[in-house]
Structure 1
Amino acid sequence: MHSQDYDRLYLSPPHLGRHEINYLHKAIEDNWVAPVGPNLDGFEQDVCAFTGVKHALALNSGTAAIHLGLRLLGVGPGDEVLCPSFTFVATANPISYLGATPVFIDSEAETWNMCPERLREALEDMRRRNRRPRALIVVHLYGMPARLREILALAEEFEVPVLEDAAEALGATYEGRPLGSFGAVGVFSFNGNKILTTSGGGMLTTNNADWAAKARAWATQARDEAPYYQHSELGYNYRLSNLLAGIGRGQMGLLDDRVKKRREIYAWYQAKLQDLPGLGFGPTEPAEGRSNRWLTCLLLDPTETTIMPEQLRLHLESHNIESRPLWKPLHLQPLFAGLPMYGGAVCTDLFTRGLCLPSGSALTETDLYRVARAIRELWPT
């Protein structure tokens, strides 16, 4: 059969439930279609209740949340911000928005997140040069908890505030505690491909009431208290709409089920394909952590197979199955050419050997078998 004979299997499409429409209908009936409204407040309260963080601010993207979070941490022109290289560009772009410079850190091979050893190397090197980074961004890539115990200890030792980019990690935990609750500021994304979605959206979390109020003001054009429009600070149009927040409210009730399903999908692929020479899966959960397995990622070992990730991607595409390379490290991006990098071999190796498979929580076992059969076609028997 040709690829057009099959419906397309996407990497991570939205998966809506039954209740989102109720919140949308209520907002429309009550004429709460402007940016603020009860759904917005309720969505923020839902995230606070789930994470245990005191304050949450619903925004139009996770990128906006990182931008506001870095500004709360005092990042500005001439500053340096430590950041993993192995992540989506949205982690680092807000550093540049603020006129600061990203300083990239390599991954470690287990969780694929920021390597504590390379982080210490960077911090000690900057101390020798009488430079102290203004902030540290820790990312939980593909929903996998980073080695937080070591990373947070280093941040405390070197007195660097932490922004926790949990954009891909809602529902994951570390030492039994929800990710997004460890940093001075936390960030989630509700983009269409995430484990929960608001179509497009994000969330900033913090336990600091003053910061929450400040970020809320910045996100609504930093309007002063006055009967007319007066502005003393730079602001942004970053708030999430009340309608989209309604989708988020309906989605939050599904989170435990969605995490369960994504973890089951990862385990299914692993069980059905582990016999193929040179094909493995990652990243590996730390003993203290529990991933939401947002995306199932495979790794090819060139010492055991001649099949390359791009060859496999194109083969899956011929079956109308979407897959995607792992994130291209930021230190290899033309946008960030020449910026400081500590290490680099680990994340570069992961990029050259990895591929993300369809992982959406609406996938059926029939869908999964279709992916597995297509993968097996490439392997010699």
Structure 2
Amino acid sequence: MAEPPVAQLTGVHAVSALGRGADAQLAGVLAGELAFGPVRRFDTTARRVAVAATLPDVGTLADELAAAIDAACAAAGLTGVRRAGCALLLAVHGGPPGPSALAARLAEGGGLSGPTRVYTSACVSASTAVADAATLIARGDLDRAVVAAGYLVEPDQFALFDAGRALSDDGAVRPFSAGRRGLLLGDGVAAVVLESSAVARRRDGEPVATVVGWGRAGDAFHPCQPDPSGTGLAHAVRAALRRAGLPPQAVGYVNANATGTAQSDAAEAAALRQALDGYAGQVPVSSTKALHGHALEASGLLELVVTALALRHGELPVNAGWRGPDEACPLDVITDRPRRTTATHALTLNAAFGGANTALLVGTP
């Protein structure tokens, strides 16, 4: 009997304030480089906070996405012929020319003639798109898909987060740490090629990682606040493990959603304690948002790329901004320096307003 199709990452590309390209992301998070600085892209004189992680020279979001898609396809070895029939799943915020029109334009420009989908579900947009692509590949509906996502720090969203006092006023993001004061936004544009393992093998494609499990769940607790029990995110993690057929102790690293806010970090710690049973305190955890900032709709994809590359490299990113343990977050947080690992599986988690939660489980190929 033939093995069921498995979704593999065969090409990745990402851009953030850490630099351009997948290698720059890995180098930046392993060096523990804080990418935050004064916002110069727009006027922040009326804002409480004036710090974000932004690229100094950046094109329009459409241009950055087009370049990322082309780079990911090139990294996967997809020629023009192999791009034909390839689906595009795009995660972006709203705005001109509209997500659907942008997806159609990007697909045409990139030679991707398959179906397109758009995702505008805030901070779980990109991770939801990855889960859908992996589902379609596992069912045999698609051989390959490009998932792309982008967010560039702009004045409207910045003002909303600032007015809501969600932004850290001390210039740093401190996930799971005592004294954490909030999140900081960051540029993020990423694209990945997901292919059926059988298709990639036939063309000698070299996978970066395998998406072995995924899960989604809702809290239905509050429009903005997470459920303090973490139940929704715990359901998503359990679903990812169940789909992969793996026990909690198979997880060797968690790139947490942790944004550095008091309530959400504590809720996520509670979710991990639920989902990983008594093993939660032994799993290395960090949040790379402390380095590259929160890229909203693009966060799930940027963090998936970083997680997959770190796992393959065998070194786990540090949780920057650490000031000391918080009793509400009793986890094995990676502090001081990156940690070497021989782990073969890692989770990357995301959560959004409205109680949406996602978990992606990746493995070394």
Query: What's the TM-score once normalised by structure 1's chain length?
Result: 0.24
Higher strand share: 2
Q: Which has the larger radius of gyration?
A: 1
